[in-house]
């Protein structure tokens, strides 16, 4: 397939945004535009060709990457826009922005907008009037840190329209990125949100001293819970054992690079939620996801013991050891 997009805009300056800049800027014939809110970060990259805070080993080729601080102008001049900011800050970033309806919008957020409790595809539809046919998703299983090291990685490109998924695939696939496509846009996005919650729970269990045996049972229960949730929220034909669902769940629950697992591990070791958040250099999406998914489960009568356990620790300040003692009996 010929290059599907001639000009791509990337919104955000975190690790995933930096990884995507690296991947796409290596493509011939694609102009990469990178919007960075923080003027000091933008100036640093302009001078030193590295992101000072995230994936600093990645060299930014400014012959191929244009830096921007005017988001509206950048969006207006791109064929496709990749959203790669934390979900908690997306609404603020876009609140004064007009999103042209003829552009393609691709979410790499893996979160829920806390102002509406909608996954990003639904948020773009409901809040900005973007057609589902113009929305795509980049999801795992993949960590930005391994992309930076050019270790073989895997990404799923999802869209309701197979042709759009294939266009995004052509943009992302490279010698160290294997790809697959998926038309389960909403299910894949919900799964990407849920796995961050489950990774926090896995981290809490690790911090409390639970071993591999528990983690195996826990992850199996998380996969079954994902299937129940997806069937309730967006019923369609899918196999949750596919890499889009199971693979992403596994890498997020087990990897040393998982910020959600790291966050949970700190809680299990006795950190307060606030102190763990302050010590981490990156946003743990699962924190915000838990605050949105928990009421969704309640409103739709979806059984979700892991979500309830994580919510209890994060938002009700319940003792983690007590909560996971109860959860361990529920999962047996």
Residues assigned a catalytic role: 195
Angstrom distance (rounded) from CA 81 to CA 77: 10
Pairing, β 104-107 against β 112-113: unpaired
* Residue 45 · residue 67 · CB < 8 Å: yes
Helix axes 305-315, 259-268, angle to 10 degrees: 70
Closest CA to 11 of 45, 34, 43, 32: 34
DSSP one-letter code for 47: H
First to last CA, the chain: 49
Three-class SS state of 139: strand
> How many Cα atoms sit within 13 Å of 76 on the Cβ side?
7
Cα–Cα distances (Å) from 184 to 44, 102, 120, 289, in that order, read: 39, 22, 14, 20
Short-list 315, 226, 308, 220, CA closest to 267: 315
| Alpha helix segments (H runs only) across the chain | 15-25, 39-48, 71-76, 87-94, 120-128, 144-148, 162-172, 185-208, 212-233, 248-254, 259-268, 273-279, 285-299, 305-315, 320-331
In three-state secondary structure terms, 174 is strand
């Amino acid at each position: 397939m010929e290059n599907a997009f001639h000009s791509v805009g990337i919104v955000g300056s975190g690790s995933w945004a930096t990884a995507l800049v690296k991947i796409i800027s290596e493509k011939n014939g694609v102009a990469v535009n990178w919007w960075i809110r923080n003027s000091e970060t933008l100036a640093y990259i302009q001078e030193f060709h590295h992101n000072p805070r995230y994936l600093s080993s990645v060299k930014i080729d400014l012959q191929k990457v244009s830096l921007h601080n005017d988001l509206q102008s950048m969006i207006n001049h791109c064929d496709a826009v990749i959203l790669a900011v934390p979900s908690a800050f997306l609404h603020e970033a876009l609140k004064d922005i007009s999103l042209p309806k003829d552009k393609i919008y691709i979410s790499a957020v893996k979160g829920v907008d806390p102002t509406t409790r909608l996954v990003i595809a639904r948020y773009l539809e409901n809040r900005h009037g973007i057609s589902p046919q113009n929305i795509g998703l980049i999801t795992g299983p993949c960590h930005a840190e391994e992309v930076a090291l050019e270790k073989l990685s895997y990404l799923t490109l999802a869209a309701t329209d197979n042709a759009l998924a294939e266009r995004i695939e052509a943009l992302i696939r490279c010698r160290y990125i294997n790809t697959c496509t998926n038309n389960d846009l909403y299910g894949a996005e919900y799964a990407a949100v849920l796995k961050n919650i489950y990774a926090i729970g896995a981290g809490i269990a690790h911090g409390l001293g639970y071993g591999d045996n528990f983690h195996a049972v826990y992850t199996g229960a998380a996969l079954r819970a994902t299937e129940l949730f997806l069937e309730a929220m967006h019923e369609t034909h899918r196999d949750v054992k596919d890499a889009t669902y199971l693979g992403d769940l596994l890498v997020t629950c087990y990897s040393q690079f998982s910020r959600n697992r790291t966050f949970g591990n700190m809680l299990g070791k006795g950190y307060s939620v606030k102190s763990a958040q302050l010590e981490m250099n990156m946003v743990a999406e699962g924190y915000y996801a838990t605050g949105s998914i928990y009421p969704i489960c309640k409103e739709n009568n979806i059984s979700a013991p892991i979500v309830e356990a994580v919510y209890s620790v994060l938002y009700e300040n319940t003792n983690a050891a007590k909560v996971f003692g109860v959860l361990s009996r529920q999962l047996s």
